[in-house]
Amino acid sequence: MKHIAPITIRRAHPEEPGVLQVAALDSARVPRSPLLVAEVEGEIRAVLSLDDGSAVADPFHESLDLVHLLRARAAASERTPRRSWLPLPLRKPRSAY
């Protein structure tokens, strides 16, 4: 039976050690931020630029599916309107008169 490890998808900073390591392993530059990463067992295995869609991945692990997963997550985020954490401005109640 094959072990299935949990996958974490999160935003990342371009200078995080794991991001830099994956780019170096892939012989590529770190993609332009903002970044989305896929972690497996605490290790970053794939990185996707939310700006231009470029990706880098760890060539020593099966990572193509992780890149597809990141692209799907990015596409879903684009379709979902973002809500600001700031409160809405207070409005005066309309008068009935």
| Residue 36 CB neighbour total at 10 angstroms | 22
Does the pTM surpass 0.95? The reply is no
Tokens of residue 31, six digits: 């993609």
Digitized pLDDT (tens) for each residue of the chain, 97 residues in all: 677 889 999 999 999 999 999 999 999 999 999 999 999 999 999 999 999 999 999 999 999 999 999 999 999 887 655 555 555 555 555 665 5
Distance CA 26, CA 20 (A): 10
Q: How far apart are the first and last CA of the chain?
A: 73
Contact of 53 with 65, CB cutoff 8 Å? no
Q: For residue 24, give the 3-state DSSP assignment.
A: helix
Distance CA 70, CA 61 (A): 16
